[in-house]
C-alpha cells in the first residue's frame, strides 16, 4: 500500500493513465475489428476504407505509448496484404 505522499500521487496517476490507455486500446481494437469484418465479407472497397481509417488510430497508439511501433507496423503490413489479396 502506498504510504508516502509521492507514492499515493503515483498510484492516482497510474490509475488515471490505466483508464486512458484502456480506452485507447479499446478504440483501436474496434477499428481493427471493422477491418477484419470487411475482409471477411470480401468487400475490397470497404476493407480498404476501414484500413485507411484504422491506420492513423494505430499510429496514435504508438505516439501515446500504448503499442510499440514495430507491433503496429507489423499489424498494418499484414492487414494491408490481406486487403490487397481480396480481389485476387
Q: Taking the model in full, what pTM does it have?
A: 0.86
1.10.760.10, 2.30.30.60, 3.40.50.300, 1.20.58.110: CATH of 5-84 = 1.20.58.110
Q: How confident is the model at residue 39 (pLDDT cuts 50, 70, 90)?
A: very high
The chain-wide mean pLDDT, for the chain, equals 95
SS3 of residue 60 by DSSP = helix
Q: How confident is the model at residue 4 (pLDDT cuts 50, 70, 90)?
A: very high
SS3 of residue 38 by DSSP = helix
Nearest to 44 by CA among 9, 88, 10: 88
Amino acid at each position: 500500500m502506498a504510504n508516502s505522499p509521492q507514492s499515493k500521487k503515483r498510484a492516482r496517476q497510474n490509475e488515471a493513465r490505466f483508464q486512458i490507455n484502456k480506452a485507447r486500446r479499446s478504440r483501436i481494437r474496434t477499428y481493427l475489428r471493422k477491418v477484419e469484418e470487411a475482409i471477411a465479407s470480401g468487400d475490397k472497397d470497404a476493407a480498404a476504407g476501414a484500413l485507411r481509417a484504422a491506420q492513423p488510430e494505430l499510429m496514435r497508439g504508438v505516439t501515446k505509448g500504448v503499442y510499440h511501433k514495430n507491433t503496429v507496423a507489423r499489424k498494418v503490413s499484414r492487414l494491408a496484404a490481406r486487403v490487397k489479396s481480396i480481389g485476387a
